[in-house]
Structure 1
Amino acid sequence: MSTVSATGNAGSSASSASYSSFEDQLTSTQSSKILADYVKDHGGAVWKSDLQKLADNASGDTPSEVSAAASYMLSHPDVYTTIETLDNPNADGLSGHWNFSDAANGALGSTGAIADLKDVFDRAIESSAEITKLTTEKKTGLDATKQRPQN
């Protein structure tokens, strides 16, 4: 069985801001679909170490959505383990495109749902922290303008 290399048809030149936004919105199902399509066309299977190469995209040849999907899998090792053991109960770090395809079609069950909920909660917490920071800054500025000058 061959493995995927960190090269591909790079047709996307997304900025790091849009890449980050795209990655932040990924779910286990979306990541699985992206990787299923990519891995099928680039060797048929991927080792966990290959995911790191795809995520790092040192050569710049990996499409940004594939890098984001690989990053998602690396940041959710329980999801990747569930995917790679869909066809073989022994975790060996190797996953074929068919495993990603099965995961994209709902085979993850509660593991995928829990990971997706965790991501939603993490984004909500980050948004809440940002709102708190902004409102605190605005309130501090408003309070400063209301103070009377000292004579």
Structure 2
Amino acid sequence: MTDATTSPITLEDFPATRLVGFSWEGSFAEAATGVIVARMEALRLRLELAEDEQVFGLSWIDRADGFRHFCGVRRETAPPDLAVFAAPTLRCLVISHPGGDASAAYTLLMKERDRRGFAESRAVGMIDQHLGRDGRMRLWLPICEA
């Protein structure tokens, strides 16, 4: 596996995507208890996802004590008990991550954003693209080009 600190950072477009899944919001302390991972597992069970089906986690850090999160999968239709989020096309800095806590990798992406003179995107804060159940991810940091 590649350590995120040695993975190359690329500039890519996250395509406009319709996601179906669960919304959550709460404190950082609540998130640390595993609530987001539990929501992702509940989504996998609810939609009977294949082992390698990708789940996306979108986060908005829009308050001092916590954040909002949406975990979803690409789907055209949604069961009535699931939420839908239509992500627009987003210009992003991207890095591969072997799994687990992605804080250090996002810190690298934010430093790279600042180094390149990009602004923070308000559309979506961060996107975790879970590539399967083994923990591997692609981390997307939406940016605004100046």
Q: Same fold, TM exceeding 0.5?
A: no
Higher strand share: 2
> 1 or 2, which has the higher helix percentage?
1
TM-score (structure 2 length as normaliser):
0.23
Larger of the two Rg values belongs to structure: 1
* TM-score, length-scaled by structure 1: 0.22
